[in-house]
Each structure stands twice: as structure tokens, then as C-alpha cells.
Amino acid sequence: MNSLALFVALTLSIYAYEASAAVTYPPVVLVHGITGTKSDLYFLRSFLIKNLPGVYVKDVDLGGGLNSIWRSINDQIDRLCEELAKDEILQSFPGINLIGFSQGGMIARGFLERCNNPPVLNFISWVSPQGGQFGVPGFINSTIERIIDDLVECCAYDRWLQEILSVAGYWRDPYQEAAFVNGSIFLADVDNLRPKKNHLYKQRILKLKNFSMGYSLVDDVLRPKETGWFAHFSKNTELKLTYLEDQQMYKEDWIGLRELDESGRLHRFTTLCGHGDYSSQHCFVPTFTKNVL
């Protein structure tokens, strides 16, 4: 399979309702990234509506701007769950297609594993730190970057910081692996890394038709950039990566990724777009049109 052809995940499995002669596309839900707002996704929304006639596209604003930083990722997941659960159009369909960008991919995955109402048919994680992040990205103002850097260095896994800083929820320090597993309120939880497993997480992931995940080969925000494929820095080093297939989470299939992979439903892709270019015409259109439409 072509590395990007995974985008078949997006949509866009088409199905026809018995009650209608017209072919109907499943709704598409878009989740913006950190410091972003749903207005960042306006082009994507317009493009989908134009090329998938009649499709319902929902882009959720999770606070945006600095609120997407200084707010627990769990709170943002709860908001997404609430917004989608009360949407009557989404609820009228048997399932949705879900696309999350950057931090939005983490929030979307949280929705998938913890709520899944309405059910996700296909999930696309676009340049999202699924394996965790280690390094404060240089895309915010320098003062805030220094503050975040100081906070995660001293207190990354303290409960109070986990509950006010979104990045802390998926911060994965290779020099503090035990503290990460015990203290992370999000990533260690949805990865089922603790002794007590939540079997609903695996059940919900295994209901997916496709899970597509990608990272940018030129990403200068995510660290490591391969985190988009669930890779993370190996214990006590930043010189070596532990890839998904080498992780116990995958080997013992704690959340269903191995079964998805073995059944041909876990797809990987890369792009040459900058981290923040996912919503741009020159990045999104060629990838999407070539591999989905």
C-alpha cells in the first residue's frame, strides 16, 4: 500500500442509507491544534464540503489561543465529548470520520477511547504527538516558552501542573519514565500503561475501520517528530527511539494497535509539510485529493 494511501481512512467509506436513494458521506469532525481555533480549519472545511457534496463537517472550537495551552487536556477532551454528543446531526448517523491535527489529534484520540459517542468509523491523526512530546516547541512567544520549559522541568508529573497545562498530559520525559507512567493523567492512561487496564479503550479502537497516523519529515515542533507514529525517546536517552512495534503496549496489544495493524487497518504516512501547514491549500489538497478522492 502506498504510504499515504492510508488516507482512505478519512472518509471516507461511503455508504448509502436504505431510506434514501442518494449516496451519503459520513460526517467529518475536525479538531484544531494547540494555540489554534476552528477558523484555522476554514479552508479544510470548505474543501471537504465542495468535494464531498452534502457532507456535514463539524469543526469544534476548544477554546483556542492560549486557552488551549493553559487548560488540562482532559478538560478539552470532555468538551469535545459534550459537543459531539449533543449534535443532533452527528447523532443521526451510524458513525463519523474524525481528523485531529497536532494536539487536536490527542484530544480526538481521547474522545475515541473515552467517549466514542457518536462512534468513530475512521480516525486520522495528522502530525500529532501520539508517542508523547519531549521539548517545548518554539512556536509560542518566548516568555511563555520559558515558563512552560521551567514548569515541565521541575514539575511535569505533579498533579497540579497536569491539571492546568495541556502539554503536561502527553509530556514524555525519557529520564523520568516511572514518573510519567504514574503521573500522566492522559497519555499513560490512554496507552493503558498502568497495571490496571481499561478494556473499553481497546474495544473502542478495535471498532475502527481504519486508523491512519502521520508525521512530517521536516517537523520542527514535535520532538521526536516520529512521535506521530507512536515512537518515543528510549529510556534515559535522546539518541535512540523506541518504535511502536518494540513497545510492550504493542506487543501485548494493550489498546488494540497490534490487532489493527495485523488486520490491515493501521496505516502510516509522512508529509513534507511544515508542522503548521496542515490546514494550508498547498499541503492539504495534494495529499487529500491524491489518496482519498
223-262 per-residue burial string, b: 16 or more CB within 10 A, e: under 16: bbbbbbbbbbbeeeeeeebbebeebebbeebbbbbbebbe
Q: State residue 259 phi and psi, 5-degree precision.
A: -65, -40
- Residue 173 annotated as catalytic: no
| Given 68, 102, 212, 216, the catalytic residue | 102
68-89 per-residue burial string, b: 16 or more CB within 10 A, e: under 16: bbebbbbbbbbbbbebbeebee
Q: 125 forms bridges with which residues in the sheet?
A: 100, 213
- Residue 149 annotated as catalytic: no
Look-up of cell digits 515542533 = 221
| Given 219, 232, 267, 279, the catalytic residue | 219
Query: If you ran DSSP here, which 8-state letter would residue 171 be given?
Result: B
Report the SS3 class of residue 122.
strand
- Residue 275 annotated as catalytic: yes
Strands 241-242 and 232-233: antiparallel
Helix, strand, coil percent content, the chain, rounded in steps of 5? 45, 15, 40
| Given 32, 232, 267, 275, the catalytic residue | 275
What's the angle, vertex CA 197, arms to CA 119 and CA 209, rounded to 5? 30
Q: Whole-angstrom Cα distance, residue 47 to residue 110? A: 26
Longest dimension (CA), the chain: 60
- Residues with catalytic annotation? 102, 219, 275
